[in-house]
Amino acid sequence: MNSTSYIKIFLFVLLPLGYIPSYLDKDELCVVCGDKATGYHYRCITCEGCKGFFRRTIQKNLNPTYACKFEGKCAIDKVTRNQCQECRFKKCIAVGMATDLVLDDSKRLAKRKLIEENRVKRKKEELQKTVFDRLEPTQEEWELIRMVTEAHMATNAQGNHWKQKRKFLPDDIGHASMVNPPEGNKVDIEAFSQFTKIITPAITRVVDFAKKLPMFCELPCEDQIILLKGCCMEIMSLRAAVRYDPESETLTLNGEMAVTRGQLKNGGLGVVSDAIFDLGVSLSSFNLDDSEVALLQAVILLSSDRPGLSSIDRIERCQEEFLLAFEHYINYRKHKLAHFWPKLLMKVTDLRMIGACHASRFLHMKVECPNELFPPLFLEVSPSCPSHSLNQASPTCFYGPTFGPDQSRKLSRICSTLLLDYCFISTDMWNKYIRNFKGALCTFPMGVVSTEMSLVCLEFSAV
């Protein structure tokens, strides 16, 4: 509806109903003719008729053409006001109506434009205020934010003291003992060996983070495994990226090992390391707090598009709860930063790309690096290793050469449930489970189980 429509409504609907401004008394009269006044017009309280008459007279310069038939002594009221224009105009001047307030066409158009601009500006400001007030987290969302933040802080190695507790990987590691894979990327065996020492605790912290979210624990066990396999590398990359130090140009892995871009690249990640470092450089300008990092992790964890999920709608609803709380928290805390929320969401896409690239890169690492260097838990969560799914056999590197099909399937069931069981049982129950698992291994023929398989017990016993 344009301004002309509003004027028509005012003239033909509101005025006949007796509309008067709030600053006027109910029975206020026009000082010119005594009719019912509608407001202050040109510094006087007048009716609409006298206001229009005065404006037309000045704009069209009509007063010289007015002539009174009764020597300028006419009494002006609401009955006689249209009988003598000269006396009516004189009374307008006499009561104080100001000719200088009547605008010509150009000034009137400029004023109308200014009024319209101010109206649009006020509407925009009111809309923004309404949006920001509405986007402040609700009480339920604050509780969700508190819960996920506590889960992150309880499972984030070294917390906010990582700079004081980190140790730099020596410069001579990551630049020697190179072998050349088919694609030309280099793997430094010593650097790779150093990284594998921290990968198991890093993975278990991601699992522990997920276990502290009730909506995750309520999902079917198979879906928990699929979500963890899909998000582990992405969340570990995020935790490393937010610990990028621009002064030393390093990332701190698992809160303890500071590495350069070259060391991470030569240690097995190849081009994936560039993506993680670039993400770290980008995130350094976001100045994320613990709650924002925690919410970002929850959004990544509860991704309903992971292949093989059965509770897709349920997971999607859980993710939406976190997304809404996340958006409201961002607008509440950083609403002055332009496009902060969509820019931050784009980082989820970057992390998904890192996860996909790592899955491809993992296959090259399997070819170039000795099998015994791969921690079993790292193999277990690798999405690029289809043999580690719940219904498939584990990799042949776990078994001896004389291992038969029946024994392979039996041991596969034991191995593939390790991560699943760790997701939802208590620490006491887990320790008991490990003891039983060690006993189960003893039932297999001597020489059947390889060294790598035996290390599974040691890896999980240290959790």
Percent of the chain with pLDDT over 90: 27
User: At 258, phi and psi to the nearest 5?
Assistant: -90, 125
Position 247 confidence tier, pLDDT thresholds 50, 70, 90 = confident
Same domain, residue pair 21 and 163: no
Q: What is the separation, in whole angstroms, between the first and last Cα of the chain?
A: 67
pLDDT digits (tens, 9 = 90+) for 303-347: 999 989 999 999 999 999 999 999 899 888 865 666 888 888 888
The CA distance from 174 to 266, in Å, is 6
Task: Name 431's Cβ contacts closer than 8 Å, sequence gap at least 6.
Answer: 461
| Token digits of residue 161 | 């003291």
Residues paired with residue 251 on neighbouring β-strands, in sequence order: 244, 259
**206 within domain boundaries:** yes
The total number of residues shown for the chain amounts to: 463
pLDDT tens-digit profile of 276-289? 889 888 888 888 88
Q: Report the percentage of the chain scoring pLDDT > 70.
A: 63
- Looking at the fold, whether 74 and 152 belong to one and the same domain comes out as no
Domain that holds residue 79: 17-106
Same domain for 90 and 201? no
What is the structure's pLDDT at 259?
78
Q: In this predicted structure, what is the pLDDT of residue 45?
A: 93
Place of tokens 């790779």: 192
Question: Which band of pLDDT confidence, cut at 50, 70 and 90, is reported for residue 181?
Answer: very low
Looking at residue 184, what is its pLDDT?
A: 43
Residue 60 within any structural domain of the chain: yes
Token pair in block for residue 71: 């020597």
- As a whole number of angstroms, the distance between CA 292 and CA 145 comes to 9
Q: Which residues contact 426 (CB under 8 A, 6 or more apart)?
A: none
Q: Are residues 372 and 268 in the same domain?
A: yes
pLDDT band at residue 394 under the 50/70/90 scheme: very low
The whole-number average pLDDT for the span 453-462 is: 42
Is pLDDT above 70 for 269? Answer: yes
**Segment 281-298 mean pLDDT:** 90
Q: In the prediction, which pLDDT does 58 show?
A: 92
Per-residue pLDDT at 449 exceeds 60: no
Considering the domain architecture, whether residues 99 and 244 belong to the same structural domain is answered as no
- Give residue 7's pLDDT band: very low, low, confident or very high (50, 70, 90): very low
pLDDT at 204: 86
Domain co-membership, 221 together with 282: yes
Task: Among 330, 353, 383, give the residue marking a domain's end.
Answer: 383
Residue 242 · residue 234 · CB < 8 Å: no
70 inside domain: yes
Q: What is the 3-state secondary structure (H, E, C) of the chain?
A: CCHHHHHHHHHHHHCCCCCCCCCCCCCCECCCCCCECCEEECCEEECHHHHHHHHHHHHCCCHHHCCCCCCCCCCCCCCCCCCCHHHHHHHHHHCCCCHHHCCCHHHHHHHHHHHHHHHHHHHHHHHHHHHHHHCCCCHHHHHHHHHHHHHHHHHCCCHHHHHHHCEECCCCCCCCCEECCCCCCCEEHHHHHHHHHHHHHHHHHHHHHHHCCHHHHCCCHHHHHHHHHHHHHHHHHHHHHCCEECCCCEEEECCCEEEEHHHHHHHHHCHHHHHHHHHHHHHCCCCCCHHHHHHHHHHHHCCCCCCCCCCHHHHHHHHHHHHHHHHHHHHHHHCCCCCHHHHHHHHHHHHHHHHHHHHHHHHHHHHHCCHHHCCHHHHHHCCCCHHHCCCCCCCHHHECCCCCHHHHHHHHHHHHHHHHHHHHCCHHHHHHHHHHHHHHHCCCCCCCECHHHHHHHHHHHCC
Q: Residue 235 domain-assigned? A: yes
Residue at 400 is within a domain: no
Which pLDDT score is estimated for 214? 92
pTM reported for the whole predicted model: 0.56
Final residue in a domain of this structure, among 368, 383, 398: 383
Tally Cβ neighbours within 10 Å of residue 73. 8
The pLDDT of residue 166 is 64
Instruction: Check whether residue 335 and residue 194 sit in a common domain.
Output: yes
- In this structure, are 61 and 148 located in the same domain? no
Residues linked to residue 258 through DSSP beta bridges, in sequence order: 168, 252
The enclosing domain of 334 has a CATH number of 1.10.565.10
User: Under a CB-based contact definition with an 8 Å cutoff, are residues 382 and 229 in contact?
Assistant: yes
Q: What pLDDT score does 1 carry? A: 53
Q: How many domains does the chain have?
A: 2
* CATH number (domain holding residue 26): 3.30.50.10
Are 100 and 143 in a shared domain? no
Q: Is 400 a residue whose pLDDT tops 80?
A: no
Instruction: Find out whether 50 and 92 touch, Cβ atoms under 8 Å.
Output: yes
The average pLDDT across 208-222 equals 92
State the pLDDT confidence band at 458, using cuts at 50, 70 and 90: very low
pLDDT at position 158, please? Answer: 65
Number of neighbours of residue 330 by Cβ within 10 angstroms: 22
Question: 452 in a domain, yes or no?
Answer: no
pLDDT at 216 over 90: yes
User: Which tops the pLDDT comparison, 180 or 55?
Assistant: 55
| 288 and 233 within one domain | yes
In a domain, 150, yes or no: yes
Residue 214 in domain: yes
- What's the Rg (C-alpha) of the chain? 38
Mark which of 335, 368, 383 sits at the end of a domain: 383
213 and 152 within one domain:
yes
Amino acid 260: pLDDT = 77
Question: What pLDDT was estimated at residue 270?
Answer: 75
301 closest CA partner among 331, 283, 323 = 323
Q: How far apart are CA 333 and CA 194, in angstroms?
A: 39
Q: Which two tokens stand for residue 75?
A: 């009494």
pLDDT at 297 over 70: yes
Residue 248 has pLDDT above 70, yes or no: yes
In this structure, are 46 and 149 located in the same domain? no
Task: Indicate if the pLDDT at residue 179 is higher than 80.
Answer: no
Q: Averaged over 146-175, what is the pLDDT? A: 72
Q: Lowest mean pLDDT of 78-92, 126-140, 237-251, 392-406, name the range.
A: 392-406
Give the model confidence (pLDDT) of 94-135 as tens digits: 999 999 999 887 888 888 889 899 988 888 877 666 555 556
